[in-house]
Amino acid sequence: MSETEGYDLVVIGSGPGGYVAAIRAAQLGLKTACVEKRETLGGTCLNIGCIPSKALLFSSERFHEAGHGLARHGIKVAGVELDLPAMMAQKDSVVTANTSGVAYLFKKHKIDWIKGTARIAAPGLVEVALKQGGQQQVKTRHILIATGSESTPLPGIAIDEQRIISSTGGLSLPSVPKHLVVIGGGYIGLELGSVWRRLGSEVTVVEFLDRILPGMDGEVSKVMERLLRKQGIAFKLGTKVTAAVPSEAGVTLTLEPAKGGASETLAVDVVLVAVGRRPHVEGLGLEAVGVALDERGRVKTDGHYATNIPGIHAIGDAIAGPMLAHKAEDEGIALAEILAGQAGHVNYDAIPGVVYTWPEAASVGQTEEQLKEANIAYKVGKFPFSANGRARAMAMTDGFVKILADQATDRILGAHVVGPEAGDLIAELVLGMEFSAAAEDIARTCHAHPTLNEAIKEAALAVDGRAIHI
């Protein structure tokens, strides 16, 4: 067993939480190492999550557009063909560029990358089973658990990553399945379902609840369901999968109404299980060290990302809060700053969430349902993209912007966008909320014409009943 000299911070896990924390800590002068058990840096996000899924979404969108979306612009394209291996190779090269980019940043900031699987032996002591063989003991003042999450399995349904796949298998299928069933109507299921639908699969989404995108504003869910149905995605809502039996030919699924009732079977080619993610803390030795977990298996932390054991901290998907890369990143920065004696902080009221389907759906702050539940009086300003000049020029008029503002103060409490580039458009409203903007502030801000952002200004004007273009 080799022993390393002491660090200020050892980060376990190099996802967007861990690698960003390591870089910020190094910037602040802390001697930092990061242990990663995967071959490459970047965690779920860069290797099997955000980045490869967005690469496939982008490529499949181009494929669909070339085949179906250009004629109305007066562009005739004949003989559009899918080269799936080339599309996958493009996705893989995007992943490599990103993961090697993190390796470059580690070198630049003199962060030691320890390749292996970490276990916390004691506060201040991390033991690493090295990839190359052998063990290494690493002493450190602080330990950061940034071990992220993994797909939640569905009881009784075994993932083989061939016929019954997780999101990881869904990012690298070798051929386009004839009929793909996605179990779970959350953002991962809808994004991957969209990819394979555009590439030619018949796609059915089975969701236990009676709506897709639970957690998003109800109106967003409804409109997204309608728009995705128009693209040929079928939905079986209020339905549960009770069995999935793989065979040479495919998979036989047994479905039942969620509320109980007669079951039916469905023979399909591939089943993607996307029912959520759970924290990944197994094997870290948390029980032995006494680190407390909450009722959902997440590491319990205080407002400063400290666990109940001094010197052990946690961030990202491994702790409470939305399982999103940018939330993990911001926590990583805040934690590093706190360790360096600064006032690191994350505003959990202004964390955007984006579904990168077509059109995109993006959200920040509270939904109408949440405001009603909390008995908060609010005003609604809405504006459809069908009345936005730029969206018309792009022939992308589906969707709307909706701003929810406090009835008394006009302060923006939530904003929801369905439409082209919604994931980018929401940034203006996130920034507004970060600065406690009133709808009036957005309404009085000059927006370039003609842009999609003008729909945001119009929605802000509509909060007070004075939208111009509708």
Ligand X SMILES: Cc1cc2nc3c(=O)[nH]c(=O)nc-3n(C[C@H](O)[C@H](O)[C@H](O)COP(=O)(O)OP(=O)(O)OC[C@H]3O[C@@H](n4cnc5c(N)ncnc54)[C@H](O)[C@@H]3O)c2cc1C
Q: Judged by CB under 6 A, does residue 193 bind ligand X? A: no
Helical spans, DSSP H, in 65-162: 84-108
Q: Judged by CB under 6 A, does residue 49 bind ligand X? A: yes
Greatest extent of the chain over all pairs of C-alpha atoms, in Å: 71
Helix (H, G, I), strand (E, B) or coil at 360: strand
Helix (H, G, I), strand (E, B) or coil at 381: strand
449 is catalytic: yes
Residue nearest to ligand X (CB): 148
Q: What is the C-alpha to C-alpha distance for residues 206 and 231, in angstroms, rounded to an integer? A: 16
Report the residue number, 53 or 307, with the smaller CB distance to ligand X. Answer: 53
Q: Judged by CB under 6 A, does residue 147 bind ligand X? A: yes
Report the residue number, 58 or 397, with the smaller CB distance to ligand X. Answer: 58
Q: What is the C-alpha to C-alpha distance for residues 415 and 362, in angstroms, rounded to an integer? A: 8
- Which amino acid would we find at residue 405? A
Q: Judged by CB under 6 A, does residue 94 bind ligand X? A: no
Give the range of 82-90, 144-152, 290-298, 377-385 binding ligand X by CB under 6 A. Answer: 144-152
Q: Which is nearest to 18 in space by CA: 233, 241, 441, 329?
A: 329
Report the residue number, 47 or 453, with the smaller CB distance to ligand X. Answer: 47
Nearest distance, CB of residue 149 and ligand X, angstroms: 5
Nearest distance, CB of residue 261 and ligand X, angstroms: 32
Which one among 154, 306, 325, 426 touches ligand X, defined by CB under 6 A? 325
Q: Judged by CB under 6 A, does residue 317 bind ligand X? A: yes
Which one among 148, 186, 381, 399 touches ligand X, defined by CB under 6 A? 148
Give the range of 57-65, 146-154, 405-413, 462-470 binding ligand X by CB under 6 A. Answer: 146-154
Pairing of strands 251-257, 264-268: antiparallel
Is there a contact between 4 and 121 (Cβ–Cβ < 8 Å)?
no
Q: What is the C-alpha to C-alpha distance for residues 450 and 470, in angstroms, rounded to an integer? A: 16
Determine which one of 73, 109, 449, 469 is catalytic: 449
Give the range of 105-113, 140-148, 198-206, 292-300 binding ligand X by CB under 6 A. Answer: 140-148
Report the residue number, 354 or 442, with the smaller CB distance to ligand X. Answer: 354
100-108: long-range contacts, CB 8 A cutoff, minimum separation 24:
100/40, 102/14, 102/19, 102/41, 102/42, 102/46, 103/40, 103/41, 105/19, 105/23, 106/19, 106/22, 106/23, 106/34, 106/41
Residue 32: CB partners within 8 Å, gap ≥ 6?
7, 8, 9, 10, 11, 22, 25, 26, 109, 111, 112
Q: Judged by CB under 6 A, does residue 149 bind ligand X? A: yes
Q: Judged by CB under 6 A, does residue 399 bind ligand X? A: no
Which one among 4, 90, 100, 117 touches ligand X, defined by CB under 6 A? 117
Site mask, ligand X, residues 164-183, x = CB under 6 A?
---x----------------
Which one among 7, 9, 10, 18 touches ligand X, defined by CB under 6 A? 18
List strands edge to edge, sheet with 400-406: 353-355, 360-365, 412-419, 400-406, 378-384
Report the residue number, 143 or 396, with the smaller CB distance to ligand X. Answer: 143
Which one among 9, 10, 12, 403 touches ligand X, defined by CB under 6 A? 12
Total residues interacting with ligand X, rule: CB under 6 A: 37
Residue 108: CB partners within 8 Å, gap ≥ 6?
none
Q: Please report, as residue ranges, which positions from 21 to 40 form the binding site for ligand X (by CB under 6 A).
A: 35-38
Catalytic residues: 449
Which residues of this chain interact with ligand X, rule CB under 6 A?
12-18, 35-38, 43-45, 49-50, 53, 117-118, 146-149, 167, 188, 280, 283-284, 316-318, 323-326, 328, 356
